[in-house]
Amino acid sequence: MGFRISIVTIMIGQGLPPLNALRSFEATARHLSLKGAAEELNVTPPAVSHQIKALELHLGFTLFQRLRRGLRLTPKGEAYFHRITNSLEAIATATKDIRESGVPTTFTIAVPPHFLTSWMLPRLSSFVAKYSVLDLRVIDTIRKVDFESENVDAQILYGEGNWTGVDLDLLVRDELCLVCSPGFLAGFGPVTNISELVKCPLIYTERRNADWYRIFNATGVDRALNAPRFTTLRPLPAIEAAVQGIGVAITSRFCVSDSLTTGKLVVPFDLPELNSNMFSYFLSRRLNSHRDKRLKYLNSWLTEQITVTLEQMKYPGTGKACPDRTDLTHPVTPIANPR
């Protein structure tokens, strides 16, 4: 069965070269011969040549120098060969393991839309490459699913971790923060405290209005209720509005880590009042499902990607790399090793 990935309301399927082209290239690079690769793959030499040309077109550079007698890898081709060899071996190992385990190949996970679009989708190709034997189905929802009655294998939940009837793995402790675009901040001048903030247009999310009111109540700035506002129903349009310079939004620092790292968004100043109730992301699964290898694959991949993200996150406005956030006032904490 070929690899499939399906996402309810959101579909991805681009960026990775065709697997047959990669296999043809890897075999040809080992043999330095189209004939030798064709015999190994049980196809014809023209078929191997066609796959390699398709891969070169996809990559945008030449992989082999065609000589009178045989082939020679170009410098880029040799570097690419060494990079993909381990990945192909990992795919083969994962395929062998999951086939021998008798684990179903379809794997369904429910994910909050903000977490899915802002953080998970940009990284999902590495999961696809490593575990291509799985048919991954992703549902974007904030509703807690019922594992007993719904066809869902795992869910990423956001909250305090007080759900019952499921097994939970802590993924990452999150913190809320104010965000806006650099251009917006430059246009409105310095925004370093709540008094300056309320002079700015504020971006509300109807499902998360309590965040703003918690700030107003904690700081006692009543006139903030009359600040100019722009309102969206869900978090994702609110963040895009902030990127476009419409105003200041409240969001998960972890989910917008990429935008903060690249400078699309900045944190004008930190507000401890935002994090009086610390929420986290959890991986939720059926009780006593720890032997499911698919969950181990997912947990391991999430751990790896979250660790990389935390290493790339920076202190707002300093440009200083932040591999260890334990000295922050409100640390973002990765999970321990997966069980």
Tens digit of each residue's pLDDT (9 = 90 or more) over 251-290: 989 999 999 988 999 999 988 777 766 789 999 998 888 7
| Sole residue written with tokens 């990423």 | 156
Question: Which fold does the domain 13-98 belong to in CATH?
Answer: Arc Repressor Mutant, subunit A (1.10.10)
User: pLDDT per residue over 105-147, tens digit each?
Assistant: 788 999 999 999 999 999 998 898 888 778 889 999 999 999 9
Q: What confidence tier does 95 reach under pLDDT thresholds 50, 70, 90?
A: confident
Residues of the chain with CATH 1.10.10.10: 13-98
- At residue 178, φ and ψ (nearest 5 deg) are -85, 140
The one-letter amino acid code at 159 reads G
Taking the alpha carbons at both ends of the chain, their separation in whole angstroms is: 29
Percent of the chain having pLDDT more than 70? 83
pLDDT for 176 equals 86
Question: Do the beta carbons of residue 265 and residue 244 sit within 8 Å?
Answer: no
Average pLDDT for residues 18-29, to the nearest whole number?
89
Give CA–CA dist 44/216, Å, rounded.
Answer: 71
**Digit-coded pLDDT (tens) for 43-55:** 899 999 999 999 9
- What kind of fold does domain 106-174+279-312 have according to CATH? D-Maltodextrin-Binding Protein; domain 2 (3.40.190)
Rounded to whole angstroms, the Cα distance separating 339 from 110 reads 20
- Record: fold of 176-275: D-Maltodextrin-Binding Protein; domain 2 (3.40.190)
Per-residue pLDDT at 13 = 42
Residues of the chain with CATH 3.40.190.10: 106-174+279-312, 176-275
Output the CA–CA distances (angstroms, integers) from residue 123 to 7, 60, 116, 233, 274, in the order listed: 15, 22, 10, 26, 28
Q: What local confidence, expressed as pLDDT, does residue 102 receive?
A: 56
Whether the per-residue pLDDT at 101 is higher than 70: the answer is: no
Other C-beta atoms within 10 Å of 3: how many? 17
Measured in residues, the chain has a length of 339
Q: What is the pLDDT of residue 20?
A: 86
Closest-CA residue to 64 (of 94, 101, 26, 23)? 26
Lowest mean pLDDT across 50-59, 85-94, 292-301: 85-94
For residues 152 and 145, the answer to whether their CB atoms sit within 8 Å is yes
